C-alpha cells in the first residue's frame, strides 16, 4: 500500500496521525528498538529513521549530538538499512528514511531508492535536497513506488508553493517555523494559516513538524493538519526519563 | 573563457560541481541574495565604490615585491610576490568582506554572521561590521579558538560576539554548519558573510568576484614591473578564495600556468591532511550547500582533516577549482607541515617577509619549482596573509626557548594578578 492510501486508511479512525523520529544508532540500536516498541504501542502511525550524517546542518543541538555520537559508535549505512528492514517488518507503522542528500548521492540515487524500497521504507526526507536537484531521484522513486517528501516552509512564496505542490507525493512536511529542529514553536494561527496556504497547492496530506512537544500542540493542529510530527521532544524524554518516561509521554500526547 | 557564463539551466554549476543544496526554508533568502548580487555585478558604480573603499580603508592596491635574494639563492626563476598581506587586518579576507558589507547595505540587513578558521575572516568581518555599524556574530570551532587567541581577542574588542563551536571536529566545517543553523533562523535581518569561494551559489561566484581585484592589480603590476606576464602563478588553497582572486587575472593567458598549493599536513597516506585535489583521498560529494570534492569516507561522512595552517584545514574545495582541475587549467600540489616551517624560515631570513602559514604553502611549491626553471623565467606568488598572527604556532614549530620563557613569565604574572 502506498503512503497516501495508508494515511487515508488510518485517518478513517483518527482525526490526526502522529509521525515520530529516531536517530539510528543513538543511543544504540537496542534502545532505538525499545523506543519504537513504545511508539508502536501508543499507536504512532509513521516513523522517520534518521541515518546519521557528519554535517547535519538543518538539525538542532540534540540531534546534532545524536548524529555525532551514533557515528562515533560506528553506525554504518548498511546497519541503518538492516534496522529499517527489521523495523518495517515488525511494526504496524510505516517507515521513512530521513537524512542528508550525501548519503544517497554517495551510494548512487538508483541504489538508494532500491535499498529504501527493499528495506520496507515508504519514502524519504532529505532536507538539503531542493526540487531543482531531484528530478531524476523523483523519477526513480515513482518507478519504485516510494515517495520523496517535499518540505513547505513559512518563507516559501505562493509561486514556489505551486512548484512544490506540483511535485509533492505521499505527504507534505510543513515546517512550522524558521530555524533548526528542536526549539519550541508557538502553535497557533500562524501555523494553521501556513497549512491552509500549503493546501491551496496540493491535495496530498499535510504533516506539521518542528517544535511539537505536547498534546496541546497537537490539539491546535487537529482538524487542520493530517499528521503531527514529533522529533526532538521524544528523544529528550528518552534521555531524561527512559522507557517509562517515553511511555507516559506518548500516552499523554496521543490521548 | 568566462567561467561565470553559465549555460541555460546550469546557473551556479562549474562542470558537475557547485549548485545550491540548501533546506527549502533558505530558498527565498538565497534568491534575494542572488538577485542583489546580480544587480551589484551589473552596476559599474558598485565596483567603483568597492575599489575606492579598499583604497581608502585597506591600502589597495597592494604592491608586488621582487624577491631578488631568494631568486638568487635558488638560482632559477625570478620570484615576485603579490603583497595582500599588507591589507588592513593582514590578509586578502578583507576584500571579500568589504564587498559583502556593501552588498549587505543594499540588502538592508542589520546583522552579519560569519564562520572563521584561522580567524582572519572573522577578524576582517568584525572590522567591517564595526565600520558599517552591523551587529556581528562570529562562529569559530573551539579547537581554532584555542589555537588562534590573538584573532579572537581582536574580534571581541572590535565588538563582535565570538561563539566557540563545540560540535564535530570543532574546526572550520563545524563553524560553517553553525552559521547555516543561525541563518535558517535569522535570515530576515541577517546576512551570512561566507569567507571563501565555497558554499551554495552565488557564494563561489560572488567571493571570486570580490577577490578578482587581486588578479586585476597583479596582472597590470607584473606588466609594468617585470615587463611581462609571469610563467607561473602560485597560491595556497583552503577554500580557495585568494587563489581564485589572483588566478582570475591570468585565466585567459594560456602561457601562464596556475598552481594551487593545498595543506599536505603530515603527507601522502597519512590521512591527516587537507589536500582534496593534490592527493587522491577526496571524492565528489554534497555537503555545506554545494557539490565538490570532499575528504569523506565511502558512506559520505566527512573525514578528519589537518593542516598546520588553520585556514587550510577544511574538508572541501571550491567547486570552480574542482572543475578547473578536471579541465587541467589549474595544477594542484600539496605542501606538508614540515616543508611549510622550512620555507617560512627561509623566506624570513632571506627576504624579511613573514607570510602567514597558509600563504607559506604557496611558497613551498614555488621554492621547489623555481630552481628547475630558467633565470629568465618569472613566477608570482600570492602572499595572501601575514604571519605575525601565527606567532604562537610558529614559535612552537621553531621551538623558541626565549619565547617560551617570555610566555611563562607572562603566565606567572597573570596568575599573580588573579590570586
Q: What is the pLDDT of residue B1?
A: 65
Give me the residue from A56, A103, A156 closest to B28, CB to CB: A156
Give me the residue from B21, B186, B298 closest to A128, CB to CB: B21
Return the residue of B nearest to A150 by Cα.
B24
Mean pLDDT, residues A118-127: 98
Closest CA to A57 of B295, B17, B191, B183: B183
Cross-chain residue pair B184–A154, CB shorter than 8 Å: no
What is the residue-level pLDDT of chain B in tens, covering all 419 positions?
689 999 999 999 999 999 999 999 999 999 999 999 999 999 999 999 999 999 999 999 999 999 999 999 999 999 999 999 999 999 999 999 999 999 999 999 999 999 998 899 999 999 999 999 999 999 999 988 987 888 999 999 999 999 999 988 898 899 999 999 999 999 999 999 999 999 999 999 999 999 999 999 999 999 999 999 999 999 999 999 999 999 999 999 999 999 999 999 999 999 999 999 999 999 999 999 999 999 999 999 999 999 999 889 999 999 999 999 999 999 999 999 999 999 999 999 999 999 999 999 999 999 999 999 999 999 999 999 999 877 888 888 788 899 999 999 999 999 998 76
pLDDT exceeds 90 at position A182: no
Average pLDDT, chain A: 96
Cell 500562524 sits at which residue? Answer: A190
Q: Nearest C-alpha of chain B: how many angstroms from A38?
A: 30
Strand partners, B284: B293
Query: What phi, psi does B373 have (nearest 5°)?
Result: -105, 165
Contact of B156 with B123, CB cutoff 8 Å? no
Active site residue: A35, A45, A59, A226, which one?
A: A59
pLDDT exceeds 70 at position A246: yes
What's the CA gap between B42 and B301, in Å, rounded?
39
Task: Please give the positions of B annotated as active site.
Answer: 93, 115, 384
Mean pLDDT, residues A224-234: 96
Determine how many CB atoms are found less than 10 A away from the CB of residue B367.
24
DSSP string, B74-110: HTSSEEEEE-GGGSGGGBTHHHHHHHHHHHHHHHT--
CA-based R_g, chain B, Å:
20
Give me the residue from B181, B285, B300 closest to A180, CB to CB: B181
Q: Nearest C-alpha of chain A: how many angstroms from B294?
A: 11
Q: Which stretch of DSSP H or E encloses residue A217?
A: helix A215-221
For chain B, the first-to-last Cα distance in angstroms comes to: 65
Q: Which stretch of DSSP H or E encloses residue B28?
A: helix B27-42
Give me the residue from A102, A129, A130 closest to B300, CB to CB: A102
Using the Cβ of B23 and the Cβ atoms of chain A, whether some distance falls under 8 Å is answered with yes
Cross-chain residue pair B23–A127, CB shorter than 8 Å: yes
DSSP state at residue B51: H
Contact of B359 with B383, CB cutoff 8 Å? yes
Q: Nearest C-alpha of chain A: how many angstroms from B298?
A: 7
Contact of A170 with A149, CB cutoff 8 Å? yes
What's the CA gap between B170 and B143, in Å, rounded?
5
Give me the residue from A77, A156, A178 closest to B299, CB to CB: A77
What's the CA gap between B247 and B223, in Å, rounded?
15
Domain architecture of chain A: domains with CATH: 3-253 (3.20.20.70)
Using the Cβ of B299 and the Cβ atoms of chain A, whether some distance falls under 8 Å is answered with yes
Using the Cβ of B10 and the Cβ atoms of chain A, whether some distance falls under 8 Å is answered with no
Using the Cβ of B213 and the Cβ atoms of chain A, whether some distance falls under 8 Å is answered with no
Q: What is the pLDDT of residues A10-66, one digit of tens each?
A: 999 999 999 999 999 999 999 999 999 999 999 999 999 999 999 998 899 999 999
Q: What is the pLDDT of residues A152-163, one digit of tens each?
A: 999 999 999 999
Domain with CATH 3.40.50.1100 in chain B: 14-55+92-203, 59-90+212-397
Residues of A with CB under 8 A from a CB of B: 52-60, 64-65, 68, 71, 76-77, 100-103, 105-107, 127-130, 132-133, 150-157, 160, 164, 175, 178-180
CATH tag, B14-55+92-203: 3.40.50.1100
CA atoms within 13 A on the CB side of B414: 6
Third-level CATH fold of B59-90+212-397: Rossmann fold (3.40.50)
Q: What is the pLDDT of residue B286?
A: 98
Contact of B176 with B115, CB cutoff 8 Å? yes
Return the residue of A nearest to B287 by Cα.
A102
> How sure is the predictor about A186, in pLDDT bands with cuts at 50, 70 and 90?
confident
pTM recorded for the entire structure: 0.96
Give me the residue from B167, B283, B301 closest to A64, CB to CB: B167
List, as own/partner pairs, every contact residues B298-301 make where C-beta atoms lie below 8 angstroms and the sequence separation is at least 24, other chains included: B298/A106, B299/A76, B299/A77, B299/A103, B299/A106, B299/A107, B300/A53, B300/A102, B300/A103, B300/A105, B300/A106, B300/A107, B301/A52, B301/A53, B301/A54, B301/A71
What's the CA gap between A176 and A190, in Å, rounded?
9
Q: What is the pLDDT of residue B146?
A: 87
Active site residue: A35, A37, A41, A48, which one?
A: A48
Determine how many CB atoms are found less than 10 A away from the CB of residue A109.
17
Contact of A201 with A131, CB cutoff 8 Å? no
Q: Which cell is B366 given?
A: 614555488
Cross-chain residue pair B300–A71, CB shorter than 8 Å: no
Give contacts of B21 with chain A, Cβ < 8 Å: 101, 128-130, 133
Q: What is the pLDDT of residue A183?
A: 78
Q: Which cell is A62 given?
A: 540534540
Q: What is the pLDDT of residue A253?
A: 94
Q: Which cell is B297 given?
A: 569516507
Cross-chain residue pair A130–B21, CB shorter than 8 Å: yes
Q: What is the pLDDT of residue B169?
A: 87
Using the Cβ of B264 and the Cβ atoms of chain A, whether some distance falls under 8 Å is answered with no
Give contacts of A160 with chain B, Cβ < 8 Å: 27-28
What's the CA gap between A68 and B168, in Å, rounded?
7
* ipTM for the whole predicted complex goes beyond 0.90: yes
Give contacts of A59 with chain B, Cβ < 8 Å: 181
Give contacts of B168 with chain A, Cβ < 8 Å: 54-55, 68
Amino acid at each position: 500500500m502506498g503512503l497516501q492510501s495508508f494515511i487515508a486508511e488510518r485517518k478513517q479512525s483518527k482525526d490526526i496521525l502522529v509521525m515520530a523520529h529516531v536517530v539510528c544508532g543513538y543511543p544504540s540500536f537496542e534502545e532505538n528498538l525499545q523506543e519504537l516498541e513504545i511508539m508502536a504501542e501508543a499507536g504512532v502511525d509513521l516513523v522517520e529513521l534518521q541515518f546519521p550524517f557528519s554535517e547535519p546542518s538543518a538539525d538542532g543541538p540534540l540531534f546534532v549530538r545524536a548524529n555525532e555520537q551514533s557515528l562515533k559508535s560506528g553506525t554504518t549505512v548498511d546497519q541503518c538499512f538492516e534496522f529499517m528492514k527489521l523495523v518495517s517488518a515488525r511494526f504496524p507503522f510505516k517507515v521513512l528514511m530521513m537524512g542528508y542528500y550525501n548519503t544517497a548521492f554517495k551510494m548512487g540515487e538508483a541504489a538508494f531508492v532500491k535499498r529504501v524500497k527493499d528495506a520496507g521504507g515508504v519514502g524519504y526526507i532529505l532536507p538539503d535536497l531542493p526540487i531543482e536537484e531531484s528530478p531524476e531521484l523523483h523519477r526513480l522513486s515513482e518507478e519504485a513506488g516510494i515517495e520523496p517528501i517535499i518540505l513547505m516552509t513559512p518563507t516559501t512564496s505562493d509561486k514556489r508553493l505551486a512548484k512544490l505542490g506540483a511535485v509533492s507525493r505521499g505527504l507534505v512536511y510543513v515546517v512550522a517555523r524558521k530555524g533548526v529542529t528542536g526549539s519550541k514553536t508557538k502553535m497557533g494561527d500562524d501555523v494553521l494559516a501556513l497549512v491552509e496556504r500549503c493546501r491551496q497547492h496540493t491535495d496530498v496530506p499535510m504533516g506539521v513538524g518542528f517544535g511539537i512537544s505536547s498534546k496541546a500542540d497537537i490539539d491546535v493542529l487537529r482538524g487542520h493538519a493530517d499528521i503531527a510530527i514529533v522529533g526532538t521532544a521524544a528523544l529528550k524524554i528518552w534521555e531524561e526519563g527512559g522507557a517509562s518516561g517515553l511511555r507516559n509521554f506518548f500516552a499523554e500526547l496521543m490521548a | 573563457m568566462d567561467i561565470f557564463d553559465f549555460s541555460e539551466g546550469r546557473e551556479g554549476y562549474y562542470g558537475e560541481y557547485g549548485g545550491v543544496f540548501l533546506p527549502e526554508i533558505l530558498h527565498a533568502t538565497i534568491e534575494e541574495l542572488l538577485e542583489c548580487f546580480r544587480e551589484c555585478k551589473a552596476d559599474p558604480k558598485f565596483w567603483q565604490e568597492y575599489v575606492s573603499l579598499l583604497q581608502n580603508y585597506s591600502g589597495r592596491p597592494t604592491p608586488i615585491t621582487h624577491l631578488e635574494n631568494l631568486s638568487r639563492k635558488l638560482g632559477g626563476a625570478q620570484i615576485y610576490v603579490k603583497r595582500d598581506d599588507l591589507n588592513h587586518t593582514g590578509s586578502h579576507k578583507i576584500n571579500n568582506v568589504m564587498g559583502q558589507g556593501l552588498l549587505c547595505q543594499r540588502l538592508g540587513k542589520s546583522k552579519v554572521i560569519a564562520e572563521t578558521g584561522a580567524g582572519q575572516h572573522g577578524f576582517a568581518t568584525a572590522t567591517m561590521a564595526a565600520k558599517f555599524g552591523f551587529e556581528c556574530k562570529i562562529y569559530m570551532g573551539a579547537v581554532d579558538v584555542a589555537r588562534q587567541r590573538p584573532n579572537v581577542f581582536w574580534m571581541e574588542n572590535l565588538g563582535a560576539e565570538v561563539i566557540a563551536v563545540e560540535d564535530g571536529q570543532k574546526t572550520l566545517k563545524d563553524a560553517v554548519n553553525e552559521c547555516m543553523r543561525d541563518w535558517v533562523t535569522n535570515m530576515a535581518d541577517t546576512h551570512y558573510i561566507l569567507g571563501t569561494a565555497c558554499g551554495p551559489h552565488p557564494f563561489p561566484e560572488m567571493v571570486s568576484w570580490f577577490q578578482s581585484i587581486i588578479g586585476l592589480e597583479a596582472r597590470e603590476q607584473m606588466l609594468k614591473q617585470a615587463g611581462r606576464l609571469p610563467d607561473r602563478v602560485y597560491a595556497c588553497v583552503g577554500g580557495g578564495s585568494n587563489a581564485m582572486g589572483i588566478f582570475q587575472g591570468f585565466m585567459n593567458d594560456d602561457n601562464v600556468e596556475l598552481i594551487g598549493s593545498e595543506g599536505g599536513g603530515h603527507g601522502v597516506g597519512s590521512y591527516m591532511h587537507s589536500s582534496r585535489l593534490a592527493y587522491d583521498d577526496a571524492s565528489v560529494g554534497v555537503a555545506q550547500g554545494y557539490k565538490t570534492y570532499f575528504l569523506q569516507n565511502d558512506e559520505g561522512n566527512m573525514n578528519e582533516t589537518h593542516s598546520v595552517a588553520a585556514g587550510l584545514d577544511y574538508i572541501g574545495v571550491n567547486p570552480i577549482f574542482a572543475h578547473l582541475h578536471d579541465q587541467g587549467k589549474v595544477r594542484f600540489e600539496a605542501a606538508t607541515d614540515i616543508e611549510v616551517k622550512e620555507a617560512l624560515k627561509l623566506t624570513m631570513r632571506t627576504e624579511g617577509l613573514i607570510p602567514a602559514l597558509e600563504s607559506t604553502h604557496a611558497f613551498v611549491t614555488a621554492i621547489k619549482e623555481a630552481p628547475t626553471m630558467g633565470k629568465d623565467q618569472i613566477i608570482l606568488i600570492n602572499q595572501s596573509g601575514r604571519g605575525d598572527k601565527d606567532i604562537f604556532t610558529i614559535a612552537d614549530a621553531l621551538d623558541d626557548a626565549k619565547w617560551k620563557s617570555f610566555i611563562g613569565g607572562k603566565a606567572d604574572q597573570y596568575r599573580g594578578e588573579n590570586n
